[in-house]
Amino acid sequence: MPDEVAPRWSRSRRGARWPLRRWLTLAVGLLVAVFAGAVVAGSLAIAGLSDARTTIVDRIDPAVQEALRLDTALVDQETGLRGYALTANPEFLAPYTSGVDRQGAAIGRLRQIIVTRTDLLDRIAAIETEAQRWRADYAQPTIARIQATGALDAAGTEDGKLRFDAVREAVAGLQAQLDAAREAGRADLASSANTLVWVCVAIAVVLLLVFVLVTIVLRAAVAGPLAGLARGVRRVADGDFQHELRVTGPHEVTELAGDVDSMRRRILDEVSVQRQINAELDARTEDLKRSNGELEQFAYVASHDLQEPLRKVASFCQLLERRYKGQLDERADQYIGFAVDGAKRMQVLINDLLAFSRVGRHARDREPVRIADLVAQARANLAEAITDAGAEVEVGELPTVLAEAPLLTAVFQNLIGNAIKFRGAEPPRVRVESERDGDTWLFTVTDNGIGIEPEFAERVFVIFQRLHGKDAYPGTGIGLAMCRKIIDYHGGRIWLDPEPDAAGTRFRFTLPVMTPATLAETERERVET
């Protein structure tokens, strides 16, 4: 799809669909409205239940209790007066007197509790009126008469009982009304509780329906398009760069699809360009490999083929020196010496170059080798030089690695030999040690020799590069270059530590740790070879 078509397609889809923000606002608004309605309905139901409970607990039940106290106070008045009338004993008036006080207190509390019930207030007023009438018409006259005459009034007690029945009937009416109010309150309480339960059930059902509805809508309007976009992106990510991303849904999703599709088209263009570049790089790499192979072959052939003519030149120069030494003038002898020395040095250089070119050309099977054994072999090869220099070679704990033993032996022989060659005034002391560093072994070879300046840390690894004249120290300057080539061939690296702890030189190099996986890989390569 051309670039100018994609924006129009996105805009047309954008106009046909709501934006994602609007869908989310609608969903959140609907949920908030439902929650608000649920909160209001639940609050009303709880308020009704609370009112019914308050009516029962805080009004009706206390009123019933006070009505019982009022009834007890009135009965105490009647029984106390009857006992006084039958015995004329003043002690029997105590229940009557306390009953009058308790009656007033109970009526006062009743009026406070049922202040909103006018029918019950009228009933209380009637009880109070009947009680006052009974006391005025019967109780007070009877007490006054007995106190004045001291005569008993057994016959009058029946009349007083009949007069007190009106009070009893008024109290019974109050209790009946309170019992009816209690039953009505209990019914209201049960109804409010049932209403709360049904409201909770309705809220749960509505919330469930709303959640299901919102889920279905969001899944169809948002999650579905996003899933389609994700499938398309995964398809493109898996390598199908020709797959065009087309999704419907909120315009944010369509814009994202358009952006990803635009990125896909750019990737296609870049992949096309990169393929061309890779093809060119592959061609250049093959040329470079062929050139390197030819250079290595040339170095090998040149160093090998030069051996014979150089040996002939050196041999005849030596014969010339032996036969005519002393027969010619001093300058002729000097010239012949120069020729012999140059031929010998050329032989050494060619031999070193031949050894350097052979590293990695004829790979042997790598086997587990103990580095301590290789160091011991290198010390044995340098035994004469070690003895002549009075050198000490200390060896720490060394691991076992996968390697070609002759090549690594040459590394340690070069490093220890250099420590002996470039020694200072004190006898040479060489320390060989190792430590584990993740997936590699870190080897360190330290000496107390003349040292190397930090600015020459890389130059010493360049072939035929020397820091001293050939008259000061013998050699061709190829030893450290060969060490680097051998370590690189084994998958490690070697460098000069620029800041040793003491005077001297410290070389460090790494080798891979031998693991079951590397052993298996080596065995597989050996079988394939």
Give the per-residue pLDDT at 440.
92
Give the per-residue pLDDT at 522.
62
Residues above pLDDT 90, as percent of the chain: 7
Q: Is the pLDDT assigned to residue 390 strictly greater than 70?
A: yes
What number is the average pLDDT over the span 468-496?
Answer: 74
Q: pLDDT grade, residue 129 (50/70/90)?
A: confident
Q: Is the pLDDT assigned to residue 61 strictly greater than 90?
A: no
Q: Using the CB atoms, write b or e for 115-124: b if 16+ within 10 Å.
A: eebeebeebb
CA distance 178 to 176: 5
Give the per-residue pLDDT at 431.
92
Q: Hey, which of 92-96, 355-359, 461-465, 521-525 has the most confident mean pLDDT?
A: 92-96
Q: pLDDT grade, residue 349 (50/70/90)?
A: low
Give the per-residue pLDDT at 433.
93
Read off the pLDDT of residues 164-195 as tens digits, 9 standing for 90 and up.
777 778 788 777 877 877 787 778 778 878 88
Q: Is the pLDDT assigned to residue 209 strictly greater than 80?
A: yes
What are the structure tokens assigned to 65, written together? 């209790």
Q: Where are the domains of the chain?
A: 18-229, 363-528
Structural contact between residues 221 and 249, judged by C-beta atoms closer than 8 angstroms: yes
Give the per-residue pLDDT at 441.
93
What are the structure tokens assigned to 260, written together? 């990803």
What number is the average pLDDT over the span 184-210?
Answer: 81
What are the structure tokens assigned to 91, written together? 């002690």
Which of left, alpha, beta for 59 (phi over 0: left; psi -120 to 50: alpha)? alpha
Q: pLDDT grade, residue 373 (50/70/90)?
A: very high
Q: Is the pLDDT assigned to residue 45 strictly greater than 60?
A: yes
| Chain centroid, CA 345 distance in Å | 66
Report, at the CATH architecture level, how domain 363-528 is classified: 2-Layer Sandwich (3.30)
Give the per-residue pLDDT at 218.
67
Read off the pLDDT of residues 397-449 as tens digits, 9 standing for 90 and up.
999 998 888 888 988 998 998 888 877 778 889 999 999 988 899 999 988 88
pTM above 0.85, yes or no: no
CA distance 86 to 156: 9
CA distance 294 to 291: 5
